[in-house]
Amino acid sequence: MKKLLLSTVAILALGTVSLSADMGSFKNSTKQSKVSTNGSGSSQVEVAANTDRIQLEKFASVNSDQLAKEIAAGNGEMVDTLATLLKVENKPAFASKLQANYGNIYTSQDMKASEVLNNISHI
């Protein structure tokens, strides 16, 4: 068990050195972005995006009926919360755009939250 643990630590250490060398050249690029991994190969940005998506889908699922009504009306607490979760700056314009595209968002009855969010992302 100790050998396995030491081997894992050694591999992680080598990976860190290799990643650091790669990051040195990456930092010198024109974007000057920093990406770090969480050990599973996923970047923190990817993990954050997945977490945000899960929260969005949960919100849209739990509030699906009210959200649909408010999108049709062009305002409401659920639309405002959706805008906040999506980090939308101009909430009134967002609500108007959702209302104008209601038929493109809700393309059939009994849609899943993920389908609604996908349709919203395409408007």
- Whole-angstrom Cα Rg for the chain: 21
Task: Classify residue 18: in a domain, yes or no.
Answer: no
Q: What confidence tier does 50 reach under pLDDT thresholds 50, 70, 90?
A: confident
Section 35-52 average pLDDT: 58
pLDDT at 43: 62
Per-residue pLDDT, 99: 98
Give domain status of residue 100, yes or no: yes
- The domain of 78 spans 43-121
DSSP 30-97: SS-----B-SSS-BHHHHHHHHHHHHHHHHHHHTHHHHHHHHHHT--HHHHHHHHHTT-S-HHHHHHH
Assigned domain for 106 exists: yes
Higher pLDDT pick, 30 / 113: 113
**Residue 92, in any domain of the structure:** yes
Residue 33 within any structural domain of the chain:
no
Has residue 62 been placed in a domain?
A: yes
C-alpha–C-alpha distance, residues 93 and 70, integer Å: 14
Summarised one tens digit per residue, pLDDT across range 92-110 is 999 999 999 999 999 999 9
pLDDT-derived band at 18 (thresholds 50, 70, 90) equals: very low
Establish if 2 belongs to a structural domain.
no
- Position 21 in a domain: no
What is the structure's pLDDT at 52? 86
pLDDT of 57 > 90? The answer is yes
Instruction: Give the count of domains, the chain.
Output: 1
